[in-house]
Amino acid sequence: MKEINSPGEFMEMVNAFRISRIILTAHELNLFTLLKDGPLTSPVMAKAIGANERATDRLMNALVPIGLLKKAGSQFSNSDFSTRFMIKGQPTYMGGVTHLGHLWKTWSTLTEAVKAGTSVAVKQSIGNREEVWLESFIAAMHSRGLQQAKEIAAVLDLSQTRQALDIGGGSGAFTFEFIRENPAIRGTIFDLPNVIPITRQYISHEGFDDSVTTLAGDYLKDKFGYDYDLVFVSAVLHINSPEENMLLINKCAEALNPGGQLVILDHIMTDDRTGPAVGAFFALNMLVGTEKGDTYTEKEIKLWMQAAGFKYIRRRDTPQGSNMMIGIK
């Protein structure tokens, strides 16, 4: 357990929201992309974004000590980090920051959500979200997936896999990496009807049109098909209630060939639910953002897998901190 050693340390934690809000506002106003061609003064920037000159100047000044802008005289320019990661259109652009701006709004309702026991901010399922929100969400998941996919593919045994199903696969980042690890794999990405058109864009962009197909549906209601050697479920369990997860895992078992493996990638909590810290925080993210979502313990996930008939169930953690539960049908 982390110990807080002083009132100063405590206040630094409480005040941390200020840096986050500065970055999100700069991102929302497109400051970094507007600086891609060279330095600008704050009055010129204010005119470009349709904002107040003094307020724009103070925002840009604050971005300097954070390390996202540099200032020489009255001219502001991107830092090396911002040039690499914060300019739209760059291959390394961190577009998922847009989704964090959306999360700011839901997290602001945490007090009310704790009282209510469920989200008071989100009344729409992902299947009914507006296009702008959905695209930024998939972009954020893709950015996360790119970082995790290599480490996951490196520790899984994919040598006998020929047909792989990625439930809630979004951009397909994990499926792409599995195929790079074993080119004999043919992948199917299952996701909601409004997500699949976005998925297909990623498939074409990454050059996997010949080896990856898509399947649209609701994973709690629709069939996945059969004859899979691997079913991969990433960042899905935390959206659901325990009852929904039991249903989902049973459906995964039905879709697998005998000897096929189910791999669940998610936050896996200790029995007292205080660790890992990222999972404890994420449980609150699910509280403010979903009707029934939560993070679950290793014991809970193992019991669901056992009930669905999986054997040789084991936990696998990567050196980078990803947590998986793996079982064999």
Return the pLDDT at 139: 75
Q: How confident is the model over 300-325, as pLDDT tens digits? A: 999 999 999 999 999 999 888 889 99
The answer to whether position 131 is within a domain reads yes
Q: How far is it, in rounded angstroms, from Cα 271 to Cα 290?
A: 23
Q: List C-alpha distances in Å: 15 to 11, 12, 18, 21, 102.
A: 6, 5, 6, 11, 20
The answer to whether position 70 is within a domain reads yes
pLDDT over 70, % of the chain = 96
Strands 69-72 and 311-317: unpaired
The answer to whether position 196 is within a domain reads yes
pLDDT band of 2, cuts 50, 70, 90: confident
Of 13-17, 88-92, 158-162, 290-294, which gets the smallest average pLDDT?
88-92
Return the pLDDT at 260: 97
Return the pLDDT at 123: 67
Please check whether residues 156 and 201 belong to one and the same domain: yes
Domain CATH for 45: 1.10.10.10
More confident residue, 121 or 156: 156
Please check whether residues 74 and 163 belong to one and the same domain: no
> How many other C-beta atoms are found inside a 10 Å radius of the C-beta of residue 46?
20
Token reading at 48? 């470009």
pLDDT band of 273, cuts 50, 70, 90: very high
Return the pLDDT at 169: 94
| pLDDT reading at 95 higher than 90 | no
The answer to whether position 180 is within a domain reads yes
pLDDT band of 48, cuts 50, 70, 90: very high
Q: How confident is the model over 168-199, as pLDDT tens digits? A: 999 999 999 999 999 999 999 999 999 999 99
Tell me if 148 sits within 8 A of 124, measured CB to CB.
no
Please check whether residues 132 and 247 belong to one and the same domain: yes
More confident residue, 99 or 161: 161
Rounded average pLDDT over 208-227:
96
Range(s) of the domain holding residue 51: 7-87
Please check whether residues 80 and 128 belong to one and the same domain: no
| pLDDT reading at 129 higher than 70 | no
Please check whether residues 167 and 286 belong to one and the same domain: yes
* Residues making up the chain, counted from first to last: 329
The answer to whether position 99 is within a domain reads no
Judging by beta carbons within 10 Å of its beta carbon (0-12, 13-18, 19+), is residue 248 exposed, middle or buried?
Answer: buried
Cis? peptide before 276, omega within 30° of 0: yes
CA nearest neighbour of 291 among 116, 158, 130, 163:
116
Tell me if 171 sits within 8 A of 137, measured CB to CB.
no
